[in-house]
C-alpha cells in the first residue's frame, strides 16, 4: 500500500506540470510517455537486465499501453471541455470499474464499509472541485470523455496486472510507455497537430513529468499491483486528485473555502474506512519488487 501511495503522490504532480508546459494535452502525453520510455530503457540497458517479453506478455503490454494512451487522451480532452477539477473527479470513477472487475472477475469480497469509503471519497472529491466546475456538467461530451478516461484507466490497470509477474515492473512500464507513445503519436498525425517543443521551459517540464509520473510513479504502482486487490489500488489512487488540489493551492494560489476543507476531510476519512476493512488482504502471492 505504501508503494501505491508513493506512486499516487508522484503522479499527483502531473496536473501542475501539464499547466507549466506550453504544449497541448495530447502532445504533452506523447512526450511524457516517450521520454519516460527512453529513461527506463537506459536504466535497463546499463543494468544489463533486459529480457525479451513472451508472446502472451507482449499482447498484454500492447493492450495496457493502448488503454493508458486512451486514458491520457480522453482526460486531457475532457479538461478542455469541463475543466480540470470535474474531469479529474470523473476519471477517478475508475474505482467503481475496478470494484466491478474485482467482484466479478477475481471474486474478491467487498464489504459494505469499503463501499461506504469509496462513496465518501468521491463525495469529498466533488467538494474539492468546487461549485464553478460542477456548473459546467451539462457539457455532455466532456462528461462522457471523463467517464471514458475512467474506463480506460481501469482497463489499463487490469491489463497491467494480468501480465505475468516474471517480468519486472520497470520493463512493464517501459513497454507500456513506448506503446502508448506510438498510439498518441498516431493520433497527433491524424489530427495534424505539431509535435514541436516551443521553449526550454517546456523541455524541462516534459522531462520532469516523464521522470516523476511515468518512470518513478507508475513503476512503484506497477510493482504493487500483484500484491493488492484491484479495488484497494483504485481507492489508494484517489489520493491523486486530493494531492493535486494541494499543489494548486501551493503553486498557483488557489483560494481555499470551507467546502474544500470538508471535501479533503471526507476524502481522507473515506480512504481510511476503505483501507481498514478486514478484506484488505493480498489476493495472490506477492511478486518480488525489482526496486
Which has more pLDDT, 61 or 289?
61
**Domain for residue 284, yes or no?**
no
Which has more pLDDT, 144 or 110?
144
Region 120-137: what's the mean pLDDT?
A: 66
**Domain for residue 291, yes or no?**
no
31 pLDDT more than 90: yes
Q: Please give the tally of structural domains in the chain.
A: 1
Question: Of the given ranges (15-24, 265-274, 279-288), which has the lowest mean pLDDT?
Answer: 279-288
**Domain for residue 281, yes or no?**
no
**Domain for residue 74, yes or no?**
yes
**Domain for residue 282, yes or no?**
no
The per-residue pLDDT of the chain, averaged, comes to 80
**Domain for residue 186, yes or no?**
yes
Region 92-121: what's the mean pLDDT?
A: 75
119 pLDDT more than 60: yes
Region 248-253: what's the mean pLDDT?
A: 74
Region 52-64: what's the mean pLDDT?
A: 84
**What is the number of other CB atoms lying within 10 angstroms of the CB of residue 286?**
13
Q: Residue 84 has what pLDDT?
A: 65
Rounded to 5°, angle at Cα 106 from 101 and 108: 90
**Domain for residue 290, yes or no?**
no
281 pLDDT more than 70: no
Confidence band for 132, pLDDT divided at 50, 70 and 90: low
**Domain for residue 235, yes or no?**
yes
pTM confidence score: 0.80
Q: Residue 30 has what pLDDT?
A: 94
75 pLDDT more than 60: yes
Structural domain that includes position 107: 2-275
Helix, strand, coil percentages (3-state) for the chain, rounded to 5, are 75, 0, 25
Show contacts of 223-226: CB within 8 Å, 24+ apart.
223/3, 223/169, 223/287, 223/289, 223/290, 224/1, 224/3, 224/4, 224/7, 224/289, 225/157, 225/160, 225/161, 226/161, 226/165, 226/284, 226/286, 226/287
Amino acid at each position: 500500500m505504501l508503494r501505491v501511495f508513493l506512486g499516487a503522490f508522484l503522479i499527483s504532480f502531473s496536473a501542475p506540470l501539464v499547466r507549466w508546459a506550453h504544449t497541448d494535452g495530447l502532445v504533452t502525453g506523447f512526450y511524457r510517455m516517450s521520454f519516460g520510455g527512453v529513461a527506463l530503457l537506459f536504466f535497463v540497458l546499463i543494468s544489463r537486465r533486459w529480457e525479451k517479453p513472451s508472446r502472451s506478455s507482449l499482447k498484454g503490454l500492447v493492450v495496457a499501453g493502448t488503454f493508458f494512451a486512451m486514458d491520457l487522451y480522453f482526460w486531457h480532452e475532457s479538461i478542455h471541455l469541463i475543466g480540470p477539477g470535474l474531469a479529474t473527479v470523473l476519471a477517478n470513477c475508475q474505482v467503481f470499474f475496478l470494484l466491478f472487475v474485482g467482484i466479478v472477475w477475481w471474486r474478491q469480497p467487498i464489504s459494505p464499509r469499503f463501499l461506504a469509503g469509496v462513496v465518501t471519497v468521491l463525495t469529498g472529491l466533488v467538494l474539492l472541485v468546487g461549485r464553478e466546475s460542477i456548473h459546467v456538467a451539462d457539457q455532455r461530451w466532456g462528461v462522457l470523455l471523463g467517464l471514458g478516461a475512467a474506463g480506460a484507466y481501469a482497463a489499463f490497470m487490469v491489463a497491467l496486472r494480468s501480465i505475468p509477474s516474471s517480468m519486472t515492473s520497470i520493463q512493464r512500464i517501459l513497454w507500456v510507455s513506448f506503446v502508448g507513445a506510438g498510439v498518441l503519436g498516431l493520433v497527433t498525425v491524424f489530427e495534424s497537430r505539431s509535435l514541436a517543443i516551443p521553449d526550454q521551459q517546456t523541455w524541462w517540464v516534459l522531462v520532469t513529468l516523464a521522470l516523476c509520473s511515468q518512470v518513478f510513479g507508475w513503476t512503484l504502482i506497477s510493482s504493487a499491483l500483484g500484491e493488492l486487490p484491484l479495488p484497494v489500488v483504485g481507492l489508494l489512487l484517489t489520493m491523486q486528485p486530493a494531492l493535486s488540489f494541494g499543489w494548486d493551492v501551493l503553486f498557483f494560489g488557489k483560494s481555499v473555502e470551507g467546502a474544500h476543507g470538508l471535501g479533503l476531510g471526507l476524502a481522507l476519512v473515506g480512504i481510511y474506512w476503505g483501507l481498514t476493512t478486514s478484506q484488505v488482504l493480498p489476493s495472490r502471492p506477492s511478486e518480488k519488487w525489482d526496486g
